[in-house]
């Protein structure tokens, strides 16, 4: 983390597109764990994730991107096959 | 020599500074400033884009937007209007936008009152703005020009105070400087970054959480700590072109004085008259007028007052249930001295302060009598 002498004035952001560097996943205290055996790739978690951090690659659900996942638990709650559960911790990978 | 009232001299300084954007909403007694400036705009004597908004909240928001867009932006207000701007004052200072605003001091409501006291500007003394107080038209004019240069050097917003009606509507002799001299003095405003430069895109005012806001505020405090030195250097430069010498405080016969009064704005003129009269009778009395109230020049005040036997601080505003604002700061400046210090509140809602009042205060100091906490109020 930078000190007050190193940051731009007034909290300005002077590097375009740098929001990707802000790892909001640091905010969470729980993270989702997916059981691949139970997962049917139904895409419910993908469509419910408010952070858009669950991606789909060639029709297959990927694990949540923990750099941005805030641990809300909506994916675990909505999964019809109980393939996702939440565990304590703040992993950002 | 010209004859201008305080409001006109603020408007005339603005004309010579030639800001790119001015947004304002009328409020007595500030209206006179913008009325005069709008005349300059209508007569095409300035190149300013004048934005007539629907409130002071919008006025300050519009100048914040303009300033973030990289241009010189100014406004003016009073009393309830300044209070309505309050939310955006912190945004202007937090985003480090060098906006300059003239204030014609007027009592805050309620009950509603249109006359002078300092409750409006004292209400926002901690909003991160530099505050300069002016005794007369001449100082309003000079402070506005000096203020623009100072604000833009340190990327801090600045407000110039003058007493509503007493200064703003009273005609006084004033020395103006040439348009070209003013524009050379303040120079062109070219900020390193601005919101409209598409070749160097930036984001202004994004969310800052516990991980960074503290650092940004620390930076602001650092900039404020540089103001006093920078103000003195800008004043020296200004003295070269005008011959008028200014500092963070004005010491009027106070160097060898035993009894000293401290005050802001126009009341200093009345105190000077009384000091002259008492000096003729051999009384060693003096005045210290504080000009730079934010940031507060603790060391300069300590140096100016620590030789006195007694000091009375005249406040034109009240901090209900606490020491009034100017007294608090003077008291902080003198904590390591044996100066006898008292607080007097006067002039709320435009109540006049007479020479006899000041004479009584000085006489009480000389004879070591207790001062009345409120002067000019009926028991």
Q: pLDDT by residue (tens digit) across B84-103?
A: 999 999 999 999 999 999 99
Range of the domain at B16: 2-240
Region A36-93: CATH code? 3.30.70.20
The shortest CB-CB distance from B96 to any of A2, A4, A10 is to A10
Q: Measured between CB atoms, which of B155, B200, B206 is closest to A11?
A: B206
pLDDT, mean of residues B256-271: 98
Range list of β-strands (E), B225-274: 249-252, 259-263
Structure token digits, residue B343:
């607080």
Are the C-beta atoms of residues B232 and B248 closer than 8 Å to each other? yes
Scan residues 15-44 of A and list those with Cβ closer than 8 Å to B: 16
Question: Does one domain contain both B185 and B307?
Answer: no
> Which residue(s) pair with B262 in the sheet?
B288, B313
A53 by Cβ neighbours in 10 Å (0-12 / 13-18 / 19+) ranks as buried
Structure tokens at B46: 């300035």
Search chain B and give the residue with CA nearest A10. Answer: B95
Q: How far is CA B206 from CA A85, A87, B209, B324, B342, in A?
A: 34, 32, 10, 36, 46
- The answer to whether residues B285 and B141 belong to one domain is no
**In total, how many domains does chain B have?**
2
Residue at a domain's end among B240, B265, B292:
B240
Instruction: Clarify whether residues B21 and B106 are in a common domain.
Output: yes
Cβ-Cβ pairs closer than 8 A, A with B, add up to 47
Among A23-27, B41-45, B141-145, B279-283, the least confident range = A23-27
Interval B335-362 mean pLDDT: 97
Q: At what angle do helices B137-154 and B6-17 cross, to 10 degrees?
A: 40
- The CATH number for B272's domain is 3.40.50.920
User: Averaged over B124-147, what is the pLDDT?
Assistant: 98
Q: What was the pLDDT predicted at A23?
A: 87
Indicate if B174 and B313 belong to the same structural domain: no
Alpha helices in B155-212 (DSSP H): 179-186
Residues in chain A: 93
pLDDT at A1 over 90: no
Residues B188 and B306 in one domain: no
CB neighbours of residue B46 within 10 Å: 20
Query: A5 contacts in B (CB within 8 Å)?
Result: 219
B175 lies in some domain: yes
Rg of chain B on CA atoms, in Å: 21
For position B183, what pLDDT does the model report? 97
The arithmetic mean of pLDDT across residues B73-85, rounded, is 98
Across the interface, whether the CB atoms of B95 and A12 are under 8 A apart is answered: yes
Q: Judge if B232 and B260 occupy the same domain.
A: no
Mean pLDDT computed over A36-62: 95
Strand B374-375's sheet: what is its strand order? B249-252, B285-290, B259-263, B310-315, B340-346, B374-375
Q: Which of B213, B240, B267 marks a domain boundary?
A: B240
Interface residue ranges in chain B relative to chain A, Cβ cutoff 8 Å: 94-97, 155, 193, 200-206, 208, 211-213, 215-216, 218-219, 222
Which of A3, A7, A14 is facing B193, going by the closest CB pair?
Answer: A14
CATH of the domain at B14: 3.40.50.970
What is the per-residue pLDDT for A93?
A: 61
Q: What is the pLDDT of residues B191-246, one digit of tens each?
A: 998 999 999 999 999 999 998 999 999 999 999 999 999 999 999 999 999 999 99
The number of beta carbons lying within 10 Å of the beta carbon of residue B126 is 10
Are B216 and A11 a contacting pair at CB < 8 A?
A: yes
pLDDT, residue A37, reads: 96
Q: Are both B186 and B302 inside the same structural domain?
A: no
| pLDDT single digits (tens) B9-41 | 999 999 999 999 999 999 999 999 999 999 999
CA distance B215 to chain A (A): 5
Q: Where are the domains of chain A?
A: 36-93
Residues of B in contact with A10 (CB under 8 A): 94-97, 155, 204-205, 216
Do B319 and B293 lie in one domain? The reply is yes
- C-alpha distance from residue B272 to each of B172, B267, B275, B287 (Å): 17, 9, 5, 7
The arithmetic mean of pLDDT across residues B264-272, rounded, is 98
Cα A65 to Cα A69: distance, rounded to the nearest angstrom: 6
Q: Across the interface, do B155 and A16 touch by the CB < 8 Å criterion?
A: no
Co-location of B352 and B211 in the same domain? no
Residue B188 lies in a domain: yes
Count other Cβ atoms within 10 Å, centred on residue B201. Answer: 14
Q: Does A4 touch chain B (CB under 8 A)?
A: yes
- Nearest residue, CB atoms, A1 vs list B96, B193, B211: B211
Question: Quick check: A91 pLDDT over 90?
Answer: no
Query: Would residue B246 count as lying in a domain?
Result: no
Residue B1: its pLDDT value, please?
A: 84
Q: Is the predicted pLDDT of residue B320 greater than 80, yes or no? A: yes
Mean pLDDT of chain B: 97
pLDDT at A92 over 80: no
Q: Do A16 and B95 make contact, defined as CB atoms within 8 angstroms?
A: no
Question: Which of the four pLDDT bands, split at 50, 70 and 90, describes residue A22?
Answer: confident
Residues of B in contact with A25 (CB under 8 A): none
Of all residues in chain B, the percent with pLDDT exceeding 90 is 99
State which of B240, B270, B285 marks the end of a domain: B240
Contact assessment for residue B119 and residue B317, using Cβ atoms and an 8 Å cutoff: yes
Please tell me whether the peptide bond between B29 and the residue prior to it is cis, using omega within 30 degrees of 0.
yes
Whether residue B146 is found in the same domain as residue B70: yes
Residue B64 shares a structural domain with residue B197: yes
Say which of B155, B203, B213 has its CB closest to residue A9. Answer: B155
Tell me what the pLDDT averaged over chain A comes to. 93
Phi, psi (5° rounding) for residue B139?
-70, -35
Residue B52 CB-density burial (10 A; 0-12 exposed, 13-18 middle, 19+ buried): middle
Task: Flag whether pLDDT at B340 surpasses 80.
Answer: yes
Q: Mutating which of A7, A12, A19, A20 best tests the B interface, going by the most B Cβ atoms within 10 A?
A: A12
pLDDT value for A90: 87
The percent of residues above 70 in pLDDT, for chain B, comes to: 100
Asked if B293 and B264 count as a contact pair (C-beta separation under 8 A), the reply is: yes
The answer to whether residues B83 and B60 touch, using CB atoms and an 8 Å cutoff, is no
> Do residues B186 and B263 share a domain?
no
């Amino acid at each position: 983390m930078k000190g007050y002498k190193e940051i731009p004035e007034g909290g300005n952001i002077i590097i375009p597109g740098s929001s990707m560097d802000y790892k909001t996943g640091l905010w969470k205290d729980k993270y989702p764990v997916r059981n691949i055996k139970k997962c049917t790739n139904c895409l419910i978690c993908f469509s419910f994730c408010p952070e858009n951090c669950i991606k789909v690659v060639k029709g297959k659900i990927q694990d949540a991107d923990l750099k941005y996942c805030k641990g809300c638990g909506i994916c675990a709650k909505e999964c019809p096959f109980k393939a996702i559960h939440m565990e304590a911790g703040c992993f950002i990978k | 020599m010209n004859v201008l009232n305080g409001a006109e001299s603020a408007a005339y300084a603005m004309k010579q500074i030639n800001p790119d954007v001015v947004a304002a909403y009328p409020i007595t007694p500030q209206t006179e400033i913008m009325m005069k400036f709008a005349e300059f705009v209508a007569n095409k004597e300035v190149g300013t884009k004048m934005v007539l908004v629907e409130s002071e909240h919008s006025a300050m928001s519009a100048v914040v937007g303009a300033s973030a867009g990289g241009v010189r932006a100014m406004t003016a207000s009073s009393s309830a209007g300044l209070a309505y701007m309050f939310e955006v004052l912190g945004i202007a200072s937090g985003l480090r936008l060098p906006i300059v605003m003239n204030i014609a001091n007027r009592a805050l409501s309620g009950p509603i009152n249109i006359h002078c006291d300092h409750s409006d500007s004292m209400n926002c003394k901690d909003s991160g703005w530099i505050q300069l107080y002016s005794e007369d038209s001449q100082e309003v004019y000079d402070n506005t020009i000096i203020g623009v240069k100072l604000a833009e050097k340190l990327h801090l917003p600045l407000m110039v105070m003058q007493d509503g009606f007493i200064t703003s509507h009273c005609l006084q002799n004033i020395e103006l400087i040439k348009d070209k001299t003013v524009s050379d003095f303040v120079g062109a405003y070219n900020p390193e970054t601005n919101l409209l430069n598409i070749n160097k895109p930036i984001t202004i005012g994004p969310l800052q959480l516990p991980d960074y806001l503290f650092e940004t505020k620390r930076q602001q405090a650092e900039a404020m700590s540089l103001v006093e030195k920078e103000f003195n250097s800008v004043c020296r430069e200004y003295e070269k072109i005008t011959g008028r010498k200014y500092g963070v405080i004005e010491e009027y016969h106070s160097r060898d004085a035993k009894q000293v009064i401290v005050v802001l704005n126009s009341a200093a003129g009345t105190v000077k008259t009384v000091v002259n009269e008492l000096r003729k009778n051999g009384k060693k009395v003096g005045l210290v007028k504080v000009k730079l109230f934010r940031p507060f020049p603790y060391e300069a005040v300590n140096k100016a007052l620590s030789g006195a036997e007694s000091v009375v601080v005249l406040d034109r505003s009240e901090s209900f249930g606490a020491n009034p604002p100017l007294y608090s700061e003077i008291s902080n400046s003198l904590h390591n001295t044996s100066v006898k210090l008292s607080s007097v509140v006067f002039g709320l809602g435009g109540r006049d302060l007479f020479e006899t009042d000041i004479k009584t205060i000085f006489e009480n100091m000389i004879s070591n009598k207790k001062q009345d906490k409120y002067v000019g109020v009926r028991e």
